[in-house]
Amino acid sequence: MESSVVVMDTNPTTNAINSQTTAANLMERIEEITEEIVSEMSDAISDHSDRYGSQSPKKRLKTEASIGDHSDDKHKHLVMKDKLEHRLGGILCCAVCLDLPKSGIFQFCFIQIKCTNGHLMCAGCFTHLLADARLRDETATCPNCRCVISRDLCSRNLAVEKAVCELPGLCRFCSKELPRVLLDKHQVDYCEERIVRCTFARIGCPWSGPFHESGPHAETCIHPNKSGREVLDVLIGLDKETIEEKKLYDSIFDLLSFEKITFNDLQLKPYRTDEYIHKLYYETSRFTAFNTQWVVKARVNEDQRDPTQSCERQLSYQIVLKSKLTTPMAIHYVILKGPFGDMKLHPRLYKHEFNESSNESPFQVISLHDSHECNKLLAAKAINFRLIMFQMQK
């Protein structure tokens, strides 16, 4: 199979001059809008000047704020505040999904990437664009200006990230407006409307509902008064789940007692098939394990014709024996992120018996945390991981 390496990124230097100029442009735009808003506020206040007399603009602003309980003024105040936030949001949002970047749970960072012309993209959309380009064998471009984008050409924009943190966001449970930095914690720990399970869920209560209803529910919940006999079935079910989880660890401990164990830190690199429509696949270079030669191959979405059509992305891999075998070889194997990789995966143990007629294991799914994780790997130049192999002696 003829193959060619896909090289997208070139130079690991970031465009410092560009990032400075666009940051300056952005600050200018923010300043412009702020000035506009302040002048709008002053205009609004001078409309009421007969009521407040002739005060200095600063003092007038203060007065406006302090009489916020006057319904008319309060309304105007809200409209103005909305306008500023709304307009800032419009400027700082991602050019692809038109949303403001979201933070991960308890990670107070809202990563915003910008192209060399200053267009902003959220981290999720940026990796998605890079991953799509990888799948299509195209160069990734900014959706706004079509300039080339890559990890080396684009950079983060800390000013925007900080500005976004200052803008309020809506709680997805109670719709309350909160500073973005507090939003995650509020949604997980404090929101009265967040969905929780019954305190007695572990002994079989299926109830779930808003947090403020969980107290009254627990008072009347019938599950704590059930007999041991009735609770037993639930406990047996829970045990079954734990046993399944424990199996993986037990089998790994068993395998660690094998005589022949080997690990290799490998790198999957992207290649193209030489079919009419070039398809993306990944392959490592050859490596040695148990005195035989191997490679690992990987592909996206079980070789689906066009994975760019689907949002759900998955990587699967196989190990391929490259040496001739005289006696069959039973191999257990597991891949981990290893010291040089950063894939977030749930380790899964697989087994295959290699012999003269079967030198390729079936493709097995790499159990990544989510589709975004898969895009992250596709967007990278190569995928690093560790392969541990155990040879079962007959």
Contact positions toward Zn ion, by CB under 5 A?
Answer: 94, 96-97, 115, 117, 119, 122, 125, 142, 144-145, 171, 173-174, 176, 191, 198, 200, 205, 207, 221
- In the bound state with Zn ion, the residue whose beta carbon lies nearer, of 75 and 202, is 202
- In the bound state with Zn ion, the residue whose beta carbon lies nearer, of 176 and 272, is 176
- In the bound state with Zn ion, the residue whose beta carbon lies nearer, of 112 and 284, is 112
Residue 257 C-beta: closest distance to Zn ion, Å:
45
- Find, among 271, 246, 201, 332, the residue nearest to 3 by Cα: 271
Residue 220 C-beta: closest distance to Zn ion, Å:
8
d(CA 59, CA 55): 6
Q: How far is residue 215 CA from its own chain's centroid?
A: 34
Q: Which residue has the tokens 């407006």?
A: 177
Residue 16 C-beta: closest distance to Zn ion, Å:
17
- In the bound state with Zn ion, the residue whose beta carbon lies nearer, of 141 and 304, is 141
**Local structure of residue 102 (DSSP, 8 states):** P
Residue 343 C-beta: closest distance to Zn ion, Å:
22
Residue 33 C-beta: closest distance to Zn ion, Å:
21
Residue 232: count of CB within 10 angstroms of its CB: 12
d(CA 49, CA 57): 11
- Find, among 303, 306, 268, 265, the residue nearest to 284 by Cα: 268
Q: At what angle do helices 16-47 and 57-66 cross, to 10 degrees?
A: 80
- In the bound state with Zn ion, the residue whose beta carbon lies nearer, of 173 and 263, is 173
Residue 309: count of CB within 10 angstroms of its CB: 9
Tally the C-alpha atoms within 13 A of residue 283's C-alpha that lie toward its C-beta: 18
Alpha-carbon distances of 318 from 34, 138, 297, 379, rounded to whole Å: 57, 26, 5, 21
- In the bound state with Zn ion, the residue whose beta carbon lies nearer, of 4 and 139, is 139
Q: Are strands 195-197 and 120-122 parallel, antiparallel or unpaired?
A: unpaired
- In this structure, the chain runs to a length of 394
- In the bound state with Zn ion, the residue whose beta carbon lies nearer, of 45 and 165, is 165
Residue 295 C-beta: closest distance to Zn ion, Å:
36
Residue 23 C-beta: closest distance to Zn ion, Å:
15
